[in-house]
Each structure stands twice: as C-alpha cells, then as structure tokens.
Amino acid sequence: MVTGLLEGTWKGGDRLTEAEAVERFGVSRTPVREALLELAGLGLVELRRNCGAVFAPFGPQEVKDLYAVRTLLEVEAARLAATRLDRDWLFQSLAAFERMREQNAADAGWREDRKLHAAIADASGNRRLAAEIGRYGDIVQLMREIVGARTLGDIHSTTVNEHLAILHAIQRREPEAAAAAMRNHLEQAAESASLAAEARRRKISG
C-alpha cells in the first residue's frame, strides 16, 4: 500500500486526493489515509487539508540531502560502536557479514546489508539513534522503489569491502577510523543513488 502509492512517475508537487487513491487501489479511504500519514511521517508527502496530498520532490538534490542526514546518524553510530566494543556482538556481526558475502542475489544482499547497518546501530548503545537509523533504512528502501530498484539492484564487491573496513575498524577499537569508513561507505551509496535519481529525472521530464 505504502509502496504502491509511490509507484509511477509523479513529479514533485503532484497532487493525489484520497478519493483518487481509493479508485486506483480498490481499497477504502481508511487504509489510504493511514498510508498517507505514514508517508508524511517519513517526509515523502505533504498533507494539505482539502487540497490532496502533494508528493515531495525527489530528484538528485533531495537524494543528496537525504544521504547527508543518514550519514550524520550512521557515522555517529559507527563511532559509538567502536568506542563500546562488544566482542560477542562483533563475532556475530562478522558471521552475518560472511553470509552476506556469499549471497550475491540482490534482494538477499540488501537484506543482509540492512541487518549489518542495524547491528551497528544497536551497538551504539543509543536506542533512539538506532530507531532513527532504522527509519532512514525504510526511507532509503522506499527511495529505491521510487527511483527504480533495478538501477541499484546489485551489491558490488566494493560495497562488501567497505563493510569489511567498517567492521575491522570497530574490531580495532578505532572510533575515528570506523566513522571514516562508514562515511566513505555512505558517500559511495549516495553517489550511486544520486545518479539513479538523475536518470529518473531525465526519463520523467523527457
């Protein structure tokens, strides 16, 4: 439902009333309203009363802004995780990482990627920080739906190496190295996502 609302080639500022969504999806207004409220909470639509929900713009600039915030959160989490190193945690994370490396299937790879990021977030010891990181995981996943998952389908071998660098820095109890590794990882991801958003922009306007 939530992801369905975002499908299609809407442009920033496009309006969608509840009645239109009802007609398009064949469900009643109640779940439509709840889905719109959820999207509004994630910052992807703006609810204006009696005017319909307006989609937020979602081009390269918005992707960059999104990743800038996500980077703030996750870099801090990596720094904290390296500071409060937990050996049991590290052992399990390395095992999960090996499983991820073996799975080249795109979907499974992304699932393991999210698990790793979530594990680092939990290891920060700040539950709200971890919750926000999870929320941004949701937003990024919706973004993949928006800009087209195909473009971002594969976990590259470089991505695997970036993950390994983060875990090793945490293992060595080097907070700044862990932060830098996480920053680098997310900058790569931001670059890739921004390019995909640019491609989508051209496809829509052309």
Query: Which residues sit at the interface with DNA, rule CB under 7 A?
Result: 17-19, 27-31, 33-34, 47, 49-53
Say which residue the tokens 């790569």 belong to. Answer: 188
Query: CB under 5 to 8 A by kind: which of DNA, its own copies, none does 69 bind?
Result: its own copies
C-alpha 35/C-alpha 32 separation (Å) is 5
Residue 204: contacted member of its own copies, DNA, none (CB under 5 to 8 Å, by partner type): none
The only residue of 5, 66, 182, 186 in contact with its own copies, by rule CB under 8 A: 66
> Could you tell which of its own copies, DNA, none binds residue 60, using a CB distance below 5 to 8 A set by kind?
none
User: For 57, which DSSP code?
Assistant: P
Residue among 99, 121, 122, 124 at smallest CA distance from 112? 99
* Residues β-bridged to residue 52: 48
Q: How far is the CB of 124 from its own copies (least distance, A)?
A: 9
- 204 interacts with its own copies by CB under 8 A: no
Single out the residue of 19, 27, 51, 68 in contact with its own copies (rule: CB under 8 A). Answer: 68
Does 161 sit near its own copies (CB under 8 A)? no
Choice between 69 and 204, CB closer to its own copies: 69
Q: Which of 38, 145, 174, 198 binds its own copies (CB under 8 A)?
A: 38
C-alpha 138/C-alpha 133 separation (Å) is 9
- E strand residue ranges, the chain: 15-16, 45-48, 52-55
In the set 7, 65, 102, 191, which binds its own copies (CB under 8 A)? 65
Contact yes or no for 124/80 (Cβ under 8 A): yes
19 contact, one of its own copies, DNA, none, CB 5-8 Å limit per kind: DNA
Give every CB contact of residue 123 below 8 A, 6+ residues apart in sequence.
77, 80, 81, 84, 86, 89, 93, 170
The answer to whether 107 contacts its own copies (rule: CB under 8 A) is no
Task: For residue 125, give both structure tokens.
Answer: 């010891």
Rank residues 34 and 98 by Cβ distance to DNA and give the closer one. Answer: 34
